[in-house]
Each structure stands twice: as C-alpha cells, then as structure tokens.
Amino acid sequence: MTQSSGKQDKVLAVVNRKGGVAKTTTAINLAHGLSRKLMRRVAPKDLNKISDPDNLYQYQDTHYYLMGHVLLIDFDPQGHCARGLGIDTGKADIGDVLLEQRHITEAVVSADRAAEGFPRPNLWILPASDNLEHAKDILRAQAFAMPSTKNYGLVRILEDRLAVALERFT
C-alpha cells in the first residue's frame, strides 16, 4: 500500500499455488464487490450538486457517482477472469504489457455490460492468455541477467511495467 495525492493505493492479490481452490472466482467477486463499493447512488434532486459530472453514471433510471475504479489483473495464462465476466479480451494482454510490446492502455478492457444487464462502469480488466507463459520466461531471463547492484528482480519489473495503472485505478 502506498500513499499518493492524499489517497490510499491498494493492491490486493489472490494467490495460492494449489489449483482448483477458487482463486479466479474469488478475484472476480472481490473486484466486482470493490467496484460496487465505489459507486454511490445519487438522488435526482442532488444531480445538480455534483461538482464532477464526468464521474456520473446512469443505468436505467438511477444515477451513480463513481468514486474510483478497480482494475482486475489476470496473471493466469488460462485467462478465465475475462471469461468469468463475460467479456471479449481484445488483442493485447498482460503478457504484451510486461514485455513492453503494448502499452497498458491498449490492453485494459472495460467490464461494463450494462446493455446486457450487468452494469460495471468502474470495473476494468487486464486480461491474460497463454502468451503470459512466454512472457514469464523472458522476464525471468531479464531479471537474472540484471546486475545485483540494481536490486531489480521480477518484483521490480512488475512495479515498473504496471506503475501507470496506479495513476487511474486507485
């Protein structure tokens, strides 16, 4: 957790080496729940009091004020987070971002499916695919090749490549 511009940046991870223990299900539900927590219903009489109308979202006859956004990053090469949310992933994924082949803004996809009855205006996903396995191999080699004086390693590579996400999704 870091402190920037007066607000808390939170990074949560759902991790377990064992398969089949509901990591993906937990991550999806946690991200969705957090995104809902960041939505405040606005009464029609209070709409004119909103100082930042760009953060207003209307679903059917109800208005919501979006207090923040949530980014779900899928680090599983099976890529089931996007499938679980029922969204198409597009062309880029986390592997492309980590290898710096694509900018994170090209890979992040909105999870909003209001037209289908699933309004999620402030939930976003950085999907994974089997491309992630290849990226992991390359990143391990990069981390191993770096001089120990740089204190780099895989964690530092992740921090560097995903830092831009903290600007929007906190």
Q: Is 14 exposed, middle or buried (0-12, 13-18, 19+ CB in 10 A)?
A: middle
pTM, entire model: 0.86
Per residue in 63-104, pLDDT (tens digit) is 999 999 999 999 999 999 999 999 988 789 999 999 999 999
Domains in the chain, please, with CATH?
A: 69-168 (3.40.50.300)
Going by pLDDT thresholds of 50, 70 and 90, the confidence category of residue 8 is: low
Rounded to whole angstroms, the maximal C-alpha distance in the chain is 61
Q: Which amino acid is at 75?
A: F
Report pLDDT digits (tens) over 9-45. 688 889 888 999 999 999 999 999 999 999 999 999 9
Tokens 């930042």 correspond to what residue? Answer: 52
Answer positive or negative: Cα dihedral of 91, 13, 132, 81.
negative
